[in-house]
Amino acid sequence: MGQYIHTNKQWQKNDYISIPRPPPACSTWYLFRRNHPKGNEMADHGQHHDDVHGGAGGAVGASLSSNGLGSVGEQTNMQRFQQDRQALTWSRVTPAAGSALPPPRSGAASVVVKGRLYMFGGYGGGTGRLDDFYSFSFDTCTWEEVNVLSAEKPGCRENNGVVIGDSSRVYLFGGYNGTAWLNDLWMFDIDTQRWTCIQESSDPRPHTNDDSNSALGDHPRPRLGSTVPSRRFGYVSVVHNNKFVLFGGFDGSRWLNDMYEFDFETKTWTEILARGQLPSVRSCPAWAKDETHVYIQGGYDGVERKADFFACDLKTYTWTEMPCRGTPPSPRYFHSCCLYGNKMYAYGGYSGSERLADMYAYDFETNHWSEVDCTNGDCPSGRSSLVAQVYENSLYIFGGYNGVHVLNDFYKFRLKPVSVPPPALVQDLQKLINRPELCDVTFLVEGKEIHANRAILAVRSEYFKVMLFSGGMRESIQMTCGGSDMDSDYSPPIELKDVSHPVFLKVLEYLYTDSICDTSLEVGVPLLIASERFMLDRLKALCEDNIRREISVENVIGIFIASHR
């Protein structure tokens, strides 16, 4: 049975799938991940949440801007070599002295905004659920407790979702506070340091198809009895097109695969009737979002752990199961995933018997999973329900649960630098010189035609701007050359005198590339004279510098004579 391939905003059946993704060096893109509590026994709440709760959800989001991938192409070879040596290596992050290191926790919500990692709440073990709020500066390597200026703020909770909405606002939904599941919606403004409650927790109208929504149900019928999502954690959440979108989770008794959106303009919830290959009910998947899709991997449905992988087109809310070639991650949940370059990385989680410390990468170009060697350096212990975010070219992880202790250790894993091709603008522009099919002006020099581009010449030289775009001079040139119709598609060659063919080609080389190369004195001296004529001060300075370096006893007289012509 074939998969589906996305082409021109439609899904077509094919043996392979390719989902469009933004280029690695784009100025802004988003990273999200989820960590969840799990479990199939609602037993002693004194145990760690991973072992007692039916599902969980802790969403995080990050925005990478030009301080991340955009500068990779400008690095020196030595920098690349040093980064390659450090790639795929763990190291412990030691905060600066005096930092207010957050206490141990798992299931915390986190997001990266403006060079800082923000982390809210979580489960602190013996201290119960938390409502504290910390931030970490990647520049200064310091932790500090966020000074919230609003009187209202979210209460204690774990495994709730936090996602980035724009450059200064993050959103938090639901979670579990130790006694109840929640469905409140909050917004935190990074600039004003204030929380705003958009929607308080409430109980939606009863569903009419509870029997069809058991943990074993593959695709329960849409629950249209309510427009407000039920209380839950362990869901997937994103912000897209000014809407908060969530999928699935666990509400205390049922695993879900419903889908809702909250419109920030109308302040209303709407249930989404998703299309395509809808994932089965689950909580606790790892997930990641790019500009057009959200990806979810794994999770737990109350009976078994998952290893499947889905993508949802956020424009059409169409789900597609992704092909899983190679070596995919084993079934798990409470793990984390993130996007970097053209890959999605999945790390850690809980298999049902152990906390994991392995890492896998999914290549979107080849649709291939491969295990990543993450055993080098100062390696963290296996864990679930961790905070995981990418900043620049490293994956940062904080805390989580290792099966015995709730943690507050802090690590980073250096990913391989994204391969950015070297700049090719100069070489590409140089290819325009003397290409008749790509040019729109022709010069006649020593009886030979030379082709160029009006716009480039005009923005690079005031002389050519006046020549080509000043009505009077342009008309006189055309009349001299025999042209009479200003609107004619035919533009006769413009004859240039007192300049040689090789010298004018060098002038064009400079105008297109801002440099000259392989210039002998035979060309350099007349090129210096031409730079004066065409009002090119930088070219003149380059020629003078070249002549100074090449001058000798044998050629000084000739240069002196040429300079006085």
pTM of the predicted protein model? 0.66
- Domain identity same for 326 and 345: yes
Q: For residue range 268-321, what is the model confidence (pLDDT) as tens digits?
A: 999 999 999 999 999 999 999 999 999 999 999 999 999 999 999 999 999 999
- Domain identity same for 185 and 274: yes
The pLDDT confidence band at residue 406, using thresholds 50, 70 and 90, is very high
| Domain contains 331 | yes
- Domain identity same for 410 and 429: no
**What total number of domains does the chain contain?**
2
Q: Which residues of 390-426 are buried (b: 16+ CB within 10 A; e: fewer)?
A: bbbbbbbbbbbbbeeebbebbbbbbbbbbebeeeeee
Mean pLDDT check: name the lowest of 201-210, 266-275, 438-447, 461-470. 201-210
| Domain contains 328 | yes
Two tokens at 526?
Answer: 């007349």
- Domain identity same for 313 and 394: yes
- Domain identity same for 354 and 478: no
| Domain contains 186 | yes
Q: Does the pLDDT at position 40 exceed 90?
A: no
- CA within 13 Å, CB half, 8: 1
- Domain identity same for 60 and 142: yes
Tell me, what CATH number does 186's domain have?
2.120.10.80
Q: For residue range 61-114, what is the model confidence (pLDDT) as tens digits?
A: 333 332 333 333 344 555 554 555 678 999 999 999 988 899 999 999 999 999
- Domain identity same for 274 and 395: yes
Q: How far apart are the first and last CA of the chain?
A: 81
Mean pLDDT check: name the lowest of 47-56, 306-315, 415-424. 47-56
| Domain contains 430 | yes
- Domain identity same for 205 and 136: yes
Tell me, what CATH number does 464's domain have?
3.30.710.10
| Domain contains 352 | yes
- ∠ Cα 232 236 242 (to 5°): 105
Q: Which domain holds residue 436?
A: 425-563
Q: Which of 414, 442, 461 is the last residue of a domain?
A: 414
Q: Which of 361, 382, 414 is the last residue of a domain?
A: 414
Q: Does the pLDDT at position 400 exceed 70?
A: yes
- Domain identity same for 471 and 332: no
Selection from 167, 194, 174, 157 nearest residue 66 by Cα: 167
- Domain identity same for 373 and 496: no
Q: Tell me the DSSP string of 531-556.
A: HHHTT-HHHHHHHHHHHHHH--TTTH
- pLDDT at position 563: 61
- Domain identity same for 226 and 147: yes
Selection from 423, 562, 524 nearest residue 25 by Cα: 423
| Domain contains 6 | no
Q: Which of 414, 436, 457 is the last residue of a domain?
A: 414
